[in-house]
Amino acid sequence: MAVVANRRSVMTLFSSASCPYSHRARIVLAEKGITVEVVNVDLDNLPEDLIDLNPYQTVPTLVDRELVLYDSHVIMEYLDERFPHPPLMPVDPVSRAKARLAMYRIDQDWYGLLRDIDTKGEKAAAKARKMLRDSIASSAEVFAAMPFFLSEEFSLIDCYVAPLLWRLPVYKIDLPKQSKAVWDYAERIFARDSFQQSLTDAEREMRD
C-alpha cells in the first residue's frame, strides 16, 4: 500500500462523478483551495491503484503521500485539520461534538433514506422518498434559524447537507411550499464558488 501511495507526488482524491459522498470531500477541497488531483473512476471498473490502496474498494479515497484515507467523514476532518484555513469545525470541544453528532444524524436519517431509495424495491423506495421529504420539510425552522446549517459560518455540516439537497430532483423529491427556508438555504450554498467548483459534469446535469 505504501509503495503505491509513494508514487503519487500530488494529493489525490479517487472520486465518483455522481457519488454524494465523493461530492462532500470535493466541496471541502474547493473551500480550502487545496491543490489536488481528482480522479473520477468508473465504479464498475476500478483502477488498480484504488484496488491496491483501499481494502473496501470504495470512493472517496484520499492519498496524501504515505497516508491513505477511505471514509468521507474521516477525509473531511483530516482536510480541515491539515489545512486549517478557513476552519470548518468549531474550536471548542462541546461545539465540535455537537457538529459531529449533527453530521452523524444527517448520515443516519437522511443519507440512510437515500441508500434505501437507491437499493431497495419500488415500494420501499417510495416509502423512503416520502420519509426523506417529510423529514427535510420538518427541519425548515432549523434551516431558517442561521445563515448556515446550525451555524453562523460555513462548516463541514453544510458540506454534508449540500450534496443531498442538490440531488433531490434526481430522486423525484419535491419539498412542500412551507419548505421555502430549505431552498433559500440551498440557493445560498449552491451559489458559493467552492460549491460550483466542486461539481462534476455529471452533477451539473442533475439540475439541467
Question: Active-site residues: which are they?
Answer: 19
Cβ pair 72, 60 in contact under 8 A = yes
CA distance 109 to 73: 16
CA distance 73 to 123: 30
Angle between helices 93-105 and 156-166 (to 10 degrees): 20
Cβ pair 42, 133 in contact under 8 A = no
Please choose, from the candidates 60, 95, 55, 66, the residue with its C-alpha nearest in 3D space to the C-alpha of residue 3.
66
Amino acid 176 reads P
- What residue has cell string 484555513? 85
CA distance 157 to 165: 13
CA distance 12 to 61: 8
61-64 vs 37-40, strand pairing mode: unpaired
